[in-house]
C-alpha cells in the first residue's frame, strides 16, 4: 500500500541538488557548475509528468549531506535520498537520516587509485546497521573494479543498487567482468541496476545492456534515473532525451511501468511514510 499523499506515476531514481558555495571535499573528480535547487528539480519532474524522485548525494561534498537533507525535509512526500556517510557514523545519525527520508548509502568510488576495504570491520558494521533499516548500498564504480567489489557487497546481505548500468568497459561491453557480476546479482535478486546516464558509457549502445539485464532478471531488478542536472555534461544533455530513451530501450508499457513505478516504489520506500510525513499529517 502506498503512503498517503502524491500518487506514484513515475520515479526518477537519480538526481542531485547542489550549491557552488558549499564546502567541497578533497580528491573530488567533479565540481558543481551552477546552483541547483530542489524547487527547480521538482519543476522539471512536473514538466515531464513524473511524480517522485530520489536525490543522490554527489561525491564532491563528501559526507556533508546537509543540502540533501534540507531538500528531503521540504518535500517528504515526493522525495527520498541516498547519503554518503563514514563507516563510523553512529546509529543516532543513521536513524535521524531515516526519519528525514534517506533510504540508502552511496559508495561513489569512481576514479580512485585505491579503494576502501568493504570487508573491514568498519564497513561490515555499517552494512549490518543499514540492513536493519532496510536501506540499500548504492555503488558507482568502473566496471573493471566493480568486478571485485560487487560480490563482497552482496555478501553483506544488504540490497545493492548499481549506478549507470554498472559502467561496463566500452571495449568489452556485456563481456566486461564487472557487468557479468552485475548480471549475477540481478539473477540472484539482490542487485538492482539504474538505467541512467547512457552518455557516460563511452559511446556504447545502452540497448545491449538493457537486453542482457532484462534477460537476467526482468524489470523487477531495474529502475530508471535521469542523472539530472548531468554533472560535467550540463550543456549537452536534456531531460527529455533521458526520459524518452527508456521508451526506446523498453517499448512495452507494462514492463516500463515496473521499472518506473513498482520497483522503485518498493526499493526506495515510497510505500512508507517517513517520520516527518507522519508529523506533518498529525
Domain CATH for 25:
3.20.20.140
For 93-151, how does the pLDDT look when each residue is reduced to its tens digit (9 = 90+)? 999 999 999 999 999 999 898 999 999 999 999 999 999 999 999 999 999 999 999 99
- Give the chain's domain count: 1
Q: How far apart are CA 24 and CA 21, in angstroms?
A: 8
Q: Residue 6: is its pLDDT beyond 90?
A: no
Q: Answer whether residue 251 is part of any domain.
A: yes
Amino acid 276: pLDDT: 62
Q: Answer whether residue 2 is part of any domain.
A: no
Q: Answer whether residue 6 is part of any domain.
A: no
Q: Answer whether residue 123 is part of any domain.
A: yes
Domain that holds residue 106: 11-281
Q: Which residues pair with 83 in a beta bridge?
A: 105
Q: What is the pairing mode between strands 79-83 and 52-56?
A: parallel
At 108, phi and psi to the nearest 5? -95, 95
Q: Answer whether residue 4 is part of any domain.
A: no
Q: How far is CA 87 from CA 130, 139, 163, in A?
A: 11, 15, 20
For 209-225, how does the pLDDT look when each residue is reduced to its tens digit (9 = 90+)? 999 999 999 999 999 99
Q: Answer whether residue 1 is part of any domain.
A: no
In which element (H, E) is residue 280 found? Answer: helix 275-281
Q: How far is CA 100 from CA 40, 105, 125, 281, in A?
A: 20, 14, 22, 14
Residue 22, phi-psi category: left (phi > 0), alpha (psi -120 to 50), beta (remainder)? beta
Q: Answer whether residue 243 is part of any domain.
A: yes
Q: Answer whether residue 88 is part of any domain.
A: yes
Average pLDDT score, the chain: 94
Q: How far apart are CA 248 and CA 130, in angstroms?
A: 35
Amino acid at each position: 500500500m502506498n503512503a498517503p499523499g502524491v500518487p506514484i506515476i513515475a520515479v526518477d531514481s537519480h538526481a542531485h541538488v547542489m550549491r557552488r558555495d558549499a564546502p567541497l571535499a578533497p580528491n573530488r573528480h567533479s565540481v558543481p557548475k551552477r546552483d541547483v535547487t530542489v524547487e527547480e528539480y521538482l519543476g522539471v519532474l512536473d514538466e515531464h509528468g513524473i511524480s517522485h524522485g530520489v536525490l543522490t548525494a554527489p561525491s564532491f561534498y563528501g559526507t556533508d549531506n546537509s543540502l540533501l537533507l534540507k531538500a528531503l525535509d521540504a518535500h517528504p512526500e515526493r522525495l527520498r535520498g541516498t547519503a554518503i556517510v563514514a563507516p563510523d557514523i553512529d546509529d543516532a545519525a543513521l536513524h535521524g537520516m531515516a526519519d528525514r527520508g534517506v533510504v540508502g548509502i552511496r559508495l561513489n568510488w569512481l576514479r580512485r587509485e585505491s579503494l576502501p576495504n568493504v570487508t573491514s570491520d568498519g564497513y561490515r558494521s555499517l552494512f549490518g546497521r543499514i540492513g536493519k533499516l532496510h536501506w540499500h548500498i548504492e555503488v558507482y564504480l568502473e566496471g573493471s573494479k566493480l568486478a571485485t567489489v560487487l560480490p563482497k557487497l552482496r555478501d553483506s546481505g544488504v540490497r545493492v543498487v548499481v549506478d549507470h548500468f554498472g559502467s561496463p568497459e566500452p571495449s568489452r561491453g556485456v563481456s566486461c567482468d564487472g557487468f557479468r557480476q552485475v548480471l549475477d546479482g540481478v539473477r540472484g535478486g539482490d542487485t538492482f541496476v539504474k538505467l541512467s546516464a547512457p552518455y557516460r558509457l563511452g559511446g556504447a549502445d545502452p540497448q545491449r545492456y538493457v537486453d542482457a539485464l532484462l534477460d537476467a532478471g526482468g524489470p523487477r531488478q531495474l529502475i530508471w534515473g535521469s542523472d539530472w542536472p548531468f554533472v560535467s555534461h550540463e550543456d549537452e544533455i536534456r531531460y527529455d532525451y533521458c526520459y524518452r530513451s527508456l521508451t526506446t530501450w523498453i517499448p512495452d508499457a507494462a514492463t516500463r511501468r515496473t521499472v518506473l513505478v513498482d520497483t522503485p516504489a518498493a526499493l526506495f520506500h515510497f510505500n512508507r511514510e517517513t517520520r516527518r510525513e507522519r508529523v506533518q499529517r498529525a
